[in-house]
Amino acid sequence: MNIVIVGGGTVGGAICAQLIMENHDITLVDADPAAISELSNRCDVAGVTGNGADISVLRKAGADKADLLIAVTSGDEINILCCAAAKKLGTKHTIARVRNPEYYDLMQLMKGEMNLSLTINPERAAANEVYKILRLPSATKIDYFCRGKVELAEFTVSADSLVCGVTLNELRTKLNMRFLVCAVLRDKVAYIPTGYFSLQAGDVVSVTVPDKEITKFFKAIGIYKHPVRDVIIVGGGRTTYYLQTLLKDSNINSTVIETDRALCDELAGEFDCTVICDDGTNQEVLLEHGIASADAFIALSDVDEENAIVSMYAKTQNTGKIITMISAMSYIELFKGVGLDSIVSPKTTTASIILRYVRSMANVRDSEIESLHKIMEDQIEVIEFIVKEEIDALTDIPIKELKLREGVLIACIVHNNKIIIPSGKDAIGNGDTVIVVTTKGQIKSLKEILR
């Protein structure tokens, strides 16, 4: 596809780098010539220097012939104007990053009138990620498929874990329940494991388990965490505000610690939560307000280093869920290396949502693909297919008899709204939704999972 990206910052750069690898034609627009030069050299993209809201600049970038324009500058107004102008010029689809809550709500209301394909609020997206983790605290990350019916949960294997050193065949026999290990990330290399694969300390494991048995599974492998009822949040900014809108309809009680009096007053006036105007990086303050007994601790301040430090302190005081917000994408692997495994990042989440949308655009056309996600540091594709017709050598044949390509796994089948974690005896039928996990790229049809 022909894609114009306006904004060469962290998010724009990450999107550029990934989309170039996926063989899209990218033109980058930025007012800073240095940003253009750096990304052009690193990603081999065409560059246009100028204001993305300028019609002449957009024309020069080829917006009149573009399939998609993505506006991710630091200015909401510029992003909105870019998309509006690009649509007038002829761009087929537009995506705008909009951080201001007032603008975001307005854009959601007027998305049809402005012909916006997608608007993204990074802080709202990060709050959604935090909330998903709070709902299943035993996992470090959760991805949803089939409109939320299917979950892929990630967890990290510790040295004292019951699964450490155990093959997947042995684990399946030992647990005697339906589950499927879909992918394993080890030393930054992703695998789709066979039954003979032995789990090791430090492995990041992605697993599908029937919804009613997910708690039983985490208890069986010894990493179960009780449902979150009380949470301490350090930082009262936008992400906390959006998180509170999600928590207000839950059974989770929250205490927010924030130094800014105005933010404290806003949160206290808007939500039914406890708000403490104090320094959340102070150990005595944290202990006084119950960090040792809270079910979860979340660091959501605007300073990455503070979030990391207080999270590491929380791990020494608390066995509950620790969630850390890290904005700088370059810091994420560093802080994961010191044991902070549940990290959310507004910029990473924004880039992931945009990339997911682009991949869906590129793959869904004229195929049975419903959605396409990437997990395990983008090394593994999770593709959701809808079976629209009988397929010779595939449908109504037990999975154990299928001649699947190497590096392909059928992770889940949804049949008549029933979630099936497949065994060798199960079969794919017409009308089913099928979740396929693969290390292979360019799979656009369910037929292509076969050798």
Asked if the model's pLDDT at residue 446 lies above 70, the reply is: yes
Top mean pLDDT of 20-24, 63-67, 173-177 is at 63-67
The residue to which tokens 């200015």 are assigned: 75
Residue type at 443 in one-letter notation: I
> Quick one: pLDDT at residue 366?
45
Q: Which residues of 97-124 are buried (b: 16+ CB within 10 A; e: fewer)?
A: bbbeeebbeebeeeeeebbbbbbbbbbb
CATH of 352-449, one of 1.10.490.10, 3.30.70.1450, 3.40.50.620, 3.30.70.890: 3.30.70.1450
> Quick one: pLDDT at residue 334?
87
Domain ranges in the chain?
A: 2-120, 138-220, 228-349, 352-449
CATH topology of domain 228-349: Rossmann fold (3.40.50)
Average pLDDT over residues 47-51: 95
CATH superfamily of 2-120: NAD(P)-binding Rossmann-like Domain (3.40.50.720)
pLDDT tens digits for range 58-116 = 999 999 999 999 999 999 999 999 999 999 999 999 999 998 877 767 776 776 667 78
Secondary structure of the chain in HEC code, one letter for each residue: CEEEEECCCHHHHHHHHHHHHCCCEEEEEECCHHHHHHHHHHHCCEEEECCCCCHHHHHHHCHHHCCEEEECCCCHHHHHHHHHHHHHHCCCEEEEECCCHHHHHHHHHHCCCCCCCEEECHHHHHHHHHHHHHHCCCCCEEEEECCCCEEEEEEECCCCCCCCCCEHHHHHHHHCCCCEEEEEEECCEEECCCCCCECCCCCEEEEECCHHHHHHHHHHCCCCCCCCCEEEEECCCHHHHHHHHHHCCCCCEEEEEECCHHHHHHHHHHCCCEEEECCCCCHHHHHHCCCCCCCEEEECCCCHHHHHHHHHHHHHHCCCEEEEECCCHHHHHHHHCCCCCCEECHHHHHHHHHHHHHHHHHHHCCCCEEEEEEECCCCEEEEEEECCCCCCCCECCEHHHCCECCCEEEEEEEECCEEECCCCCCEECCCCEEEEEECCCCCCCHHHHEC
Say if residues 90 and 62 touch (Cβ distance below 8 Å): no
pLDDT tens digits for range 318-372 = 778 999 999 988 888 889 888 888 999 999 899 888 988 887 776 655 456 777 7
Say if residues 323 and 133 touch (Cβ distance below 8 Å): yes
Q: Which residues of 284-315 are buried (b: 16+ CB within 10 A; e: fewer)?
A: eebeebebeebbbbbbbbeebebbbebbbbbb
Average pLDDT over residues 136-153: 84
From CA 431, how far away is CA 410, in angstroms rounded?
A: 16
pLDDT tens digits for range 190-240 = 999 999 999 999 999 999 988 778 888 999 898 888 899 999 999 999 999
Tokens of 144: 């949803």
> Quick one: pLDDT at residue 111?
65
Average pLDDT over residues 145-156: 82
pLDDT tens digits for range 264-284 = 999 999 999 999 999 999 999
Smallest CA-to-CA distance from 136 within 209, 227, 233 is with 227
**Domains 2-120 and 138-220 belong to one CATH topology:** no
Tokens of 419: 């979630």
> Quick one: pLDDT at residue 237?
94
pLDDT tens digits for range 432-445 = 999 999 986 667 78
Average pLDDT over residues 237-251: 93
Q: Band of the pLDDT at 149, cuts 50, 70, 90?
A: confident
pTM across the whole model: 0.85
From CA 312, how far away is CA 243, in angstroms rounded?
A: 22
Percent of all residues in the chain with a pLDDT value above 90, rounded to a whole number? 60
Q: Identify the CATH number of the domain defined by range 138-220.
A: 3.30.70.1450
Average pLDDT over residues 4-19: 91
